[in-house]
Amino acid sequence: MNVKVAGRVRFDPPDFFHPAVSPAADVPVTRLLVGGKWQPAASGETFDVHSPVDGSVIARAAKASREDVEAAIAAAYDTREGFRRLPAAARLEICEHAAQIVEQHRETLVDAIVADLGKTPEQAASEVEATRERLGLVREEVRKIFGEYLPGDWIPDTTGKSAVVLREPVGTVAAFGPFNYPLFLAASKIIPAVAAGNTVVAKAPSDAPIPLVLFGRIMEETGLPPGVLNVVTGRGGEIGDTLASHPGVSMISFTGSSAVGRSIVEKTGPKPLHLELGGNAAAIVLSDADLDLAAQKSVLGAFKNAGQRCDAVSRVLVEEGVYQAYVERALTEARRWPVGDPRAEGTKVGPLVSAKAAARVNALVEDAVAKGARLLVGGKVDNAYHEPTVLVDVPLEADIMWEETFGPVLPIASVRDLDAALELANRSRYGLDSAVFTSDLESAWRAARALECGQVTINDAPAHGVGHFPFGGRKPDSGIGREGLGYSIDECTVLKTVVLST
The residues that are catalytic are 276, 310
In sequence order, which residues have a C-beta less than 8 Å from that of residue 230 and are 6 or more positions away?
32, 33, 34, 35, 72, 73, 75, 76, 199, 200, 201, 202
Give the bridge partners for 413, in sequence order.
Answer: 317
Residue 246 in contact with residue 70, Cβ under 8 Å? yes
Cα angle for residues 344, 350, 351 (degrees, 5° grid): 130
Cα angle for residues 470, 476, 481 (degrees, 5° grid): 30
Instruction: List alpha helices for 236-322, DSSP H.
Output: 236-245, 258-268, 291-303
CA-based max dimension of the chain: 78
| Nearest-angstrom CA–CA distance, 478 and 459 | 23
Residue 177 in contact with residue 255, Cβ under 8 Å? yes
Burial of 247 (0-12, 13-18, 19+ CB in 10 A): exposed
| Nearest-angstrom CA–CA distance, 129 and 144 | 24
Cα angle for residues 358, 362, 363 (degrees, 5° grid): 120
Residue 322 in contact with residue 295, Cβ under 8 Å? no
Residue 489 in contact with residue 155, Cβ under 8 Å? no
Q: Which residue in 39, 240, 37 sits closest to 29, CA to CA?
A: 39
Other beta carbons less than 10 A from residue 495's beta carbon: 11
| Nearest-angstrom CA–CA distance, 457 and 455 | 7
Residue 399 in contact with residue 367, Cβ under 8 Å? yes
